Structure formats: structure tokens, C-alpha cells
Structure 1
Amino acid sequence: MRKMRMMSAGLAVALSIMQVAPVYADAISELKQQKSATESQLSQVNSAIASLESQKAEILGQIDTMGQELAVTMASINTLTTQIDDKQEDITQTTSDLNAARKQENTEYEAMKKRIQYLYENGGDVSWSNMLFAQEDLSTLLSKAENTQKMYKYDRECLTQYAETVQQVSELKEQQEIEKAEFETMKNEQEEQKGDLEVLIDEAKAASVDYGKQIAQAEAVASEYQAVIAEQNEQIEILVEQQRAAEEAARKAAEEEARKEAERQAAAEEEAARQAAIEEAEAQQAAAAEQDVEAEAAELDEESYDDSEDVSYDDSSSDYDSDDTDYEAYDDEEDDDSYYEEEEEEEDYTPSSSGSATGQAIVDYATQFVGNPYVWGGNSLTNGIDCSGFVNQVYAHFGYSVARQSAALRSAGYGVSYSEAQPGDIICYSGHVAIYMGNGAIVHAADERSGIKISYNAAYQPILAVRRVV
């Protein structure tokens, strides 16, 4: 028997913990699902950040490459500018040399013309004949003639040389001008390339800035998701701790109730044993009394038999009737043995109220006061009331008498699980109560900020009990 009591107590403890666990398990599961969804969104944002950073890095690499190309282009432009300037100096010098050569050519040409003019003007047949006959000897004549010939040849060579010099200087100037034009063309091309590179660099920098802004925005979103995940983790830890505390409290309460129940059962067994002992003693007493009665009856029979010899038949008949009367009295005593029979006790259930309503009627009446103010300790459904007062007054409207304190309401009616909750049931929390509407919704006097309102998540905090009165 004791072993059975221990098994019953253990089963009661397990059932109490099982009633608490689903309340928290649903909330924890929902939070974990929300956390998983948030983590998935955070992963997507982090992937987007990584992609943006990769694109930004690529843009920065392009900017660096184009910057190097721009530096090379600018160096080339500077080199070409220097070459153009040097070439311009060469052209200037060549032009000066060309002008000097042409001037020298003209000077020599004019001098030669004057010498030739002089010779022709002072020459002729007479001049030559005078020169021939005026000379003392032939060698002098030949010497003069040779000098004259050399002078003609020199003039011709000088004129040819100056003409060639002019031609060479002209060709040099033309070549220098061509080279200068080529340098200028190359410079223009480099400057165009420089302009294109600068435009591309500006565009790339703008794109890099835009990527930076997108990354900053995505990082801000990621930070928000991380904060949400941290908050969800904290809420999960709180609920897990509350679940452990509730399970521990339920276990202790169940153990205490089991202990009390065991004590009650032990007392009942002890009382039953005591009653059994009393009944057995009474039965023994009854048996002894019956033996005494039988002995007395036997003695009376013997005495009646002895006396029958001295009395008449009528008297004997009278005695016999008297004896028969005694036996009838004894039979009556046997019929009274029902006194020792065990009476069955009938257990009566006394409800907490005498009202009459449906759960939906309770809900319909309660929702009429949505929007009215919350007042701690208040008792007016219109001017102000608290959570337990709200439940008390709504049920009182239908003739039900329930407790006025939230803790006491956990004992109202009888308990059901949250999965079995129906409209009109009382949902009990730690320090708070509400009326269940169905489909996970409740109507309750929430707080001073919200007043009486409808909430669509009855498990928004751990549910300690669900009580059914209606």
C-alpha cells in the first residue's frame, strides 16, 4: 500500500510538471522560430554586405589602376610638353640659322655680283689686251689670270655652299616642325586620355561612395538584427529560467500535495483500521451476547419443561407463548444487526458559485468595456478597475461568485490545460488574470497605459493556470 502511495505521488508530481511545461514550451518555441527568422535575415544582410564590399574593393582597384594610368599619362604629357618646348627652341634656333644663312647667302651673292660686274665693266678686249701688254713677263700675266680664275671658282663654290646651307637649314626646320606637330598630336591624345581617365575615376569614386553608403545602411540593419537576436536570446533565457522555476515550484507544490495526500490516505487507512477494529470488537461482543441469549433461552426451555409437569396444559401453552415471545424479541435483535453494517459515504461537490451563463456570453459582456480605464483596486467596469476586479465583476454579472485576488482565482472552478481552454475560462498569470476569448485571444484590464483591452496572444507571458467556472 505504501509503495502504491509513493507511485501515486510520483505520478502527481510528473503530471504537475507536464502541465507547466507546455505553457513555456510554446512561448520558447515561438521565440526560437522568431530568432531563427531573424538570424536568416541577418545572414542575408551579411551576404549583401560582403557582396557590396567585394564590389567596392573592385571599384577601388579600378580607381587605383586608372590612377596609375593617369599618372603615366600626365608624365607622358609633361615629357611631350618638354619635348615640344625643346623642339620649339630648336625650330627657333634653326629659323635664326636659316635667316642668317640666307642673309649670308644674299651678302655673298651681292658681293660676287659686284665683283663680276666690276670685272665685266672693267674688262673687255681692251682691258685684257692692256693687261697682256702691260705686264712685264708672262708669269705675272698667268699669275693674274690664275688669280682671277680662282676668284671666279671661289665665288661659285661659296655661292653653292651657301645655297646648300640654306637648303639644309630649311629641311631641318621643316623636319623640326613635323616632329613638333607629331609631339603636339601625341600630347593632345594623352590629354584626351587624361580627361577620359579623370571622368572614369570620378565615376568610380562616386560608385565607391555609393557602395560605402549602402554598406553603412546594411551594417546598420545588421546591427538592429543583432540587437533583436540578443533580445530574443535574453527572452529565451528568461523563459527557460521561468520554466525551470515554475517546474520546480510545481514539483514542490505537487510533492507537498502528494505528502498531504499521503498523510490523508494514511490517516484514512488508520481510521479504517480503527473502525475495523471497533467493528470486530462489536462483532465479538454481539457474538458473545448471542451466546448468552442462547444460553438463557436453553435455561428457560429447561425450566419450562420442568414446570410443565406441575401446571395444566393451558398454563403450559401460556408459558410456551411467553417463550415464543422471547424468541421473537431475540429475532428482532438479530434484525438490528444492520447497525454494524458499514454505511457508504457519498462525496458532495460544492460549486464556487450558483450562476448560469455560457462562456461566450461571458466574453460578449466583458468586451463591452474595452477601452475603459485601468485603476488598481478599482471596482467600476466603466470608471476604472484592475485585472482581478474585472474578472470578479464580469462573473458577478451572471451570478457567479469568484475571488477578488488574482492569486486566489487560481483556485476558482476547476483546472484545465491551455490546449483545452474555451471562451469564458480564466487565464491566470503571475500577478495577473484575464478572460479567454478563444483563438489565442484574451480580454483583460492590462495596465494604466492600455486600460481594458483585447490581446491576441494569450501566452504573451507564462500561464500558471487555466480555470473553468462556467
Structure 2
Amino acid sequence: MKKRIVCLTLALMMTATQVVSVSASREDELREEQAATSAQLDATYAQIDQLYSAKQQLQDEINSLDANLVNVMVSIQTLEGDISNKEADIQQTQADLQKAQNAKDKQYAAMKQRIQYLYEKGGNEAWFQMMMSADNLSDLLTKAEYTQKMYDYDRHSLEKYANTITQVTNLGNQYQQEKAELEGMKQEYEAQSVDLQNQIDTKKANSADCDNEIAYAQEMANEYANLIQEQQAEIEQLEAERIAAEEEARRQAEAEAAAAAAAAAEEEAAQQEQEDQTVYDEDGNEVDASEAAENGDTVYDEDGNEVDPSQTTTETTTEDSGSSDVEYDEYGNVIDSDNTVDPDTVDTSSSSSSSSSSSSSGSGSSIVDYATQFVGNPYVWGGTSLTGGADCSGFTQSVYAQFGYSLPRTSYEQQNWGTEVSYADAQPGDLICYGGHVAIYMGNGQIVHASNSRDGIKISNNAAYRTILSVRRPS
């Protein structure tokens, strides 16, 4: 009887557990889905952070390219001014050349006229007749000296004008060469400006792509966040329903167990009352107590004591049913050696809950001597190799670095390096800064510099061939 009560109780509890278990299974499934959605949301936010970083890097690069483009455009404007000045110098040189040529032609014509006059007057004997017509030796010497001076004057004048023409011609050629160099630099700067503008356009397009990707990722993040909220709301609803179902199942199980225990106790008491007490007659034979009571027979217990058969049945029943040694568990079952409920063997929950967690001592002449040994090496835009190729600022940076001086990389930054001095006070080893170009002053108006892709590293004899913006002395 006791085992049957236990089985009934366990069956009721298992039925309730199965009902709750369906809800718990869906709850666990939702929690797994929510964890996966949270992981996707975190990944999306990480992607947004990466896109913002990439966009910021692109913006920094665009700003840097814009600054470089402005500097290149300023250099182009400066070169255009220098070219214009050089054209004016060339025009002036051409005018001076024409003037010198006219003077030479005039002097030559006068000389020819004098020679022609002498020959027309006396032919081949003109000089002899002029000397013979002298009144005395003094007059002869005077005429001879005059003739020599006239000859020297004509020769000196012709040589002077010839030298002037040569100098003006050389100066014109120099101006033409300098103009060509300036125009070549202008073309290179214009090519740089086109390249910079293309880079800026490309990076702006990439930045726009980043904006589109950020917007899309933000939309996905919003959808994930909304989905997590919906999942959380459903989880909380299922959890509340599960708790309510568990509480209702527990209450019903306790009520049914208590009712079953009470019914079993009543049944056992009734059966106990119906059982006959073992008694004996005077001959020692076992007789039925109830029958003996009805017949009025005298009966004895197993010890030979006379007992009242009607009292024996009542006392036995009372003694058995009123035992103070009987205990009940929390489900109303009797606890004894044959019927013991182990709480560890009873699953009272629907599901288990989850838990979660070089030295600087070089002199200016040393710098010049070191720099000039690379004359003839190529010009490479963006390069810093003294042998393999360098641009103007890369050449100066690498040369000064050999003497412990750390120059910035670009010509625009080098214009603020060192100590500024006037061009009149320039010394060998000083840095000459032009618009978008730098050179090393050699003294006597000469510079050594990485000129352009055509001439490479070269020596120029006129440091002021273009506008000088600043002269910087190493310090």
C-alpha cells in the first residue's frame, strides 16, 4: 500500500514536470537565439568602429593631400612668377645684345670708312705719303703716334663690343636654360597636382563607400537590437509562465499526495480494525476472538491470562493505529524501512537553469664637399637615396643627416628648419629655400641641388635664378 502511494505521487509530479518542460525547452531555445543575436550585434558594432576608423584615416589622408595640393599650387604660382621675370630678363638681354651688335657694327663701319679714306687718298702709299709730308721728325712721330692710337682704338672697340656680345649671348643662353628649368619644374608640379587631385578624388569616393557601409551596418545593428528586445520579452513571458506552472504543479502534487496519504491511512485503519486478535481457548487452541465474544466463551492470551475477547480486538486496533513511531514525509507518505523517499531521486523542477561571464660637428664646407660628390646622380620624385635617386628635399635631408642634422621630409617643412639668415649673409652649407624647392648653398652664388628629372643632381652658378623665400642655417 505504501509503495503504491509513492508511485502515485511520483507519477503526478512527472506529469507536471513534462508540462513545464515544454515551456522550459522553448525558453532555452530562445536564450540560445538571443546569445547568437547578441554576438551578431557585437560583431556589427565592431565593424562600425572599424569603418569609422577607416573613414577617419581616409579623411586624414585627404586633409594631408589637400595641404600638399595647396603647396604645389603655390609653388606653381611662384614658378609662373619666376618664369615671367625670367622672360623679362631674356627680353632685356636680347635688347642689350641688339644694342651691342649695333655699336659693334657702327664702330666697324667707322673703321672701314677711315681705312677707305686713307686708301682713296693715297692708295697703297698713303701711309708713306703721310709720313713724308711731315715737316720734321716731331711732326712725323706725332702723326705716327696718332695713327697707332687710332688703330688701337679701333681694335679695342671691336674687341670690347665683341666681348659684350659674347657676354650678353652667354647671359641670354643662361636665362633660356634657367627658364627651361623653371618650365620643367612647373610641368612636374602640374603633374603632381593632377596626381594629388586623383588621389583625393579616389579617397573621397572610398570615404563615401564607408558612409554607405556604416549606414547599412547601423541598420543591421538596429534590427539586431530590436530582435534581442523581442526575444527578451518572450523569454520573460515564458519564464513567468514556467514559474507559475511549476508552482501550480507543486501545489496540485502536494494536495493530491496529501489526499492519497489520508485515504491510505483510513483504508489501513479499517483493515486493521477488521483483523482478528489471536486468542486461545482453555485447551490452548487458537480461536477467533470475534466469535468467542459473540458466544461468550472464555479465552486466554498466549501467556495463559484470561482476556475479554471483545476488549482484545478494540485494544489491539487502538494500539496498532495509535503508534507514536509512525512518521510521514513531505508528500504524506509513511517513512519506515520499507518505504523511504530519497529527495535526491525526485526531480521537482522542469529544467535546470543556465548561468553565464651621426654627429653634428660638420662645417659648412664639409657639407658642400660631401653634397657635390653626388652630382650627376638621378632625380627621383619622392626619393631619398643619394646614389639611387632623390628629389630636392630628399637630397638635402640625406646630406645633412650625415652630419647629425635631422631635417623634415618636405621642402615646405624645411623652410622653417634651422636659423633664418639673409641671403646677403649666406654661407657654404646653408639651406636655400624657394617655392617648393630647396638647395645647398656652396658660396660665390652657387648651389648644389636635385634639380629635375632631366638634369638630376647638379651645380647651378646662380643661386638667385628664382625667388628665394628663405635661407636657413643648420643649428
CA distance 1:189–1:119, shift in 2 (3 Å): same
CA distance in 2 between partners of 1:143 and 1:274 (Å): 189
CA distance 1:267–1:166, shift in 2 (3 Å): same
Percent identity among equivalent residues? 12
CA distance in 2 between partners of 1:132 and 1:11 (Å): 172
Letter in 1 for 2:27: L
Letter in 2 for 1:22: Q
Partner of 2:240: 238
Q: Within 5 Å, give how 1:25-424 maps onto structure 2.
A: 25-44=21-40, 46-47=42-43, 50-51=46-47, 53-54=49-50, 57-58=53-54, 60-62=56-58, 64-65=60-61, 67-114=63-110, 116-117=112-113, 120-121=116-117, 124-125=120-121, 129-130=129-130, 133-134=133-134, 136=136, 137=138, 138-269=140-271, 271-272=273-274, 283-288=291-296
Q: Would the aligned equivalents of 1:9 and 1:259 in 2 still touch at CA under 8 Å?
A: yes
Q: Would the aligned equivalents of 2:97 and 2:168 in 1 still touch at CA under 8 Å?
A: yes
CA distance 1:131–1:232, shift in 2 (3 Å): farther
Question: CA RMSD, aligned part only?
Answer: 3.7
CA distance in 1 between partners of 2:135 and 2:120 (Å): 17
Deviation at 1:60, TM superposition (A): 4.9
CA distance 1:194–1:263, shift in 2 (3 Å): same
Partner of 1:20: 16
CA distance in 2 between partners of 1:59 and 1:131 (Å): 100
CA distance in 1 between partners of 2:23 and 2:203 (Å): 55
Secondary structure at the residue paired with 1:223?
A: helix
Q: Would the aligned equivalents of 1:81 and 1:187 in 2 still touch at CA under 8 Å?
A: no
CA distance in 1 between partners of 2:164 and 2:290 (Å): 172
CA distance in 2 between partners of 1:121 and 1:271 (Å): 185
Deviation at 1:199, TM superposition (A): 1.6
- Cα deviation, 1:160-182, whole Å, max 9, x if unaligned, reads 11221332133123213322331
CA distance in 1 between partners of 2:135 and 2:295 (Å): 213
Letter in 2 for 1:284: A
CA distance in 2 between partners of 1:115 and 1:132 (Å): 23
Q: Would the aligned equivalents of 2:131 and 2:143 in 1 still touch at CA under 8 Å?
A: yes
CA distance 1:171–1:135, shift in 2 (3 Å): farther
Deviation at 1:89, TM superposition (A): 1.4
Deviation at 1:123, TM superposition (A): 7.0
Letter in 1 for 2:212: D
CA distance 1:287–1:267, shift in 2 (3 Å): closer
- Cα deviation, 1:396-438, whole Å, max 9, x if unaligned, reads xxxxxxxxxxxxxxxxxxxxxxxxxxxxxxxxxxxxxxxxxxx
Deviation at 1:187, TM superposition (A): 2.6
Output the TM-score relative to the length of structure 2.
Answer: 0.51
CA distance in 1 between partners of 2:190 and 2:26 (Å): 70
Secondary structure at the residue paired with 1:146?
A: helix
Deviation at 1:91, TM superposition (A): 2.7
CA distance in 1 between partners of 2:226 and 2:160 (Å): 96
- Cα deviation, 1:71-123, whole Å, max 9, x if unaligned, reads 43543343343234223312322322332332243245335534643564477
CA distance in 2 between partners of 1:120 and 1:262 (Å): 168
Q: Would the aligned equivalents of 2:93 and 2:171 in 1 still touch at CA under 8 Å?
A: yes
Q: Would the aligned equivalents of 2:47 and 2:217 in 1 still touch at CA under 8 Å?
A: no
CA distance in 2 between partners of 1:142 and 1:118 (Å): 15
CA distance 1:272–1:92, shift in 2 (3 Å): farther
Secondary structure at the residue paired with 1:249?
A: helix
Q: Within 5 Å, give how 1:429-448 maps onto structure 2.
A: none
Q: Would the aligned equivalents of 2:277 and 2:289 in 1 still touch at CA under 8 Å?
A: no
Deviation at 1:185, TM superposition (A): 1.7
Deviates more, 1:178-187 or 1:140-149: 178-187
CA distance 1:261–1:134, shift in 2 (3 Å): farther
- Cα deviation, 1:226-245, whole Å, max 9, x if unaligned, reads 21342244234324422442
CA distance in 2 between partners of 1:205 and 1:62 (Å): 6
Letter in 2 for 1:219: A
Deviation at 1:27, TM superposition (A): 1.4
Q: Would the aligned equivalents of 2:27 and 2:239 in 1 still touch at CA under 8 Å?
A: no
Partner of 1:361: none
Gaps (5+ residues) in structure 1?
290-470
Partner of 2:344: none
Higher alpha-carbon Rg: 1
CA distance 1:260–1:286, shift in 2 (3 Å): closer
CA distance in 1 between partners of 2:7 and 2:135 (Å): 168
Gaps (5+ residues) in structure 2?
280-286, 298-475
Deviation at 1:148, TM superposition (A): 0.8
Output the TM-score relative to the length of structure 1.
Answer: 0.52
- Cα deviation, 1:110-161, whole Å, max 9, x if unaligned, reads 3553464356447743575457624651332232122111111112112211
CA distance 1:224–1:43, shift in 2 (3 Å): same
Deviation at 1:257, TM superposition (A): 1.6
Secondary structure at the residue paired with 1:89?
A: helix
Letter in 2 for 1:190: Q
Runs of 4+ in 1 over 6 A off after TM superposition: 274-277
CA distance in 2 between partners of 1:104 and 1:156 (Å): 11
Secondary structure at the residue paired with 1:179?
A: helix
Q: Would the aligned equivalents of 1:24 and 1:240 in 2 still touch at CA under 8 Å?
A: yes
CA distance in 2 between partners of 1:13 and 1:288 (Å): 47
Letter in 1 for 2:214: G
CA distance 1:89–1:276, shift in 2 (3 Å): farther
